[in-house]
Amino acid sequence: MIVTNSRRTVLGVLAAGLACLSVTVAAEPSIHVVDAWARATPPGVENGAVYCKITNHGAADRLVGARSSAARGAEIHASSSENGVVEMRRIDALPIGAGASVELAPGGTHVMLLGLPAPLVAGTKVALTLVFEAAGEISVEVPVVDVRAAPTAHEHHAQ
Ligand SMILES: [Cu+2]
C-alpha cells in the first residue's frame, strides 16, 4: 500500500513537471532562421530565390508557406538534378524534424519569389515571412547578395 501511494505521488510530480515544460516550449520561438540571403536579380527577371538555414529546437514541424513584400507570391521549391539538368518543383511542405537543421541552398531547396515588381538589388533587404505548421509565422530581413560579385558573400555574417 505504501509503495503504491508513493508511486502515485511520483507520477503526480512528473505530470506537473511535463505540463510546466510544455508551457515553456510554447512561449519560446522553437524555430530559428539564420543566414538568410536572396540572390540579386537582373532587370526583367520575374522570379527570385531566398536561401537560409532553419534550425528547429522544438518538436517536429513543417515549413508550409512563405510570403514577401518584394514579390507577388512565394513558394517552397525543391531542386533535383537529372542528366546535368537542374529542375525545380513546388512542394507543399518541408519537414523539419525535432532538433534538426535544414539548409536552403542553391541547387537544393529554396523559397521562390514569384512575380518581382522590381529587381532584387544587392545591398538592399527584403522582408520574408516563413509560415510553419506548429511554430507559426517567423519574419526575417533578408539581405540581397550579388553572387557573381561575391560567391561566398552569404557566409559573411558582418554584411
Ligand atoms: Cu524555384
pLDDT tens digit string along 57-108?
A: 999 999 999 999 999 999 999 998 888 888 999 999 999 999 999 999 999 9
Single pTM value for the model: 0.75
Decide if 103 is inside a domain. yes
In a domain, 89, yes or no: yes
Q: Is residue 17 part of a domain?
A: no
Ligand 1 ion: residues within 5 Å (CB): 77, 88, 112
Distance CA 142, CA 144 (A): 6
- The three three-digit cell numbers of residue 66, written as one number: 512563405
Report yes or no: 96 and 56 within 8 Å, Cβ to Cβ: yes
Question: What is the pLDDT, as a whole number, of residue 81?
Answer: 85
CATH number, domain of 124, equals 2.60.40.1890
Establish if 44 belongs to a structural domain.
Answer: yes
Band of pLDDT at residue 8, cut at 50, 70 and 90: low
Quickly tell me which residue has 522590381 as its cell.
118
The pLDDT value given to residue 82:
86
The rounded Å distance from CA 71 to ligand 1 centre is 13
- 87 in a structural domain: yes
Output the CA 106–ligand 1 centroid distance in Å.
Answer: 10
Write the pLDDT tens digit of every residue in 27-57.
567 999 999 999 999 999 999 999 999 999 9
Q: Rounded to the nearest whole angstrom, what is the distance from the C-alpha of residue 97 to the centroid of ligand 1?
A: 23
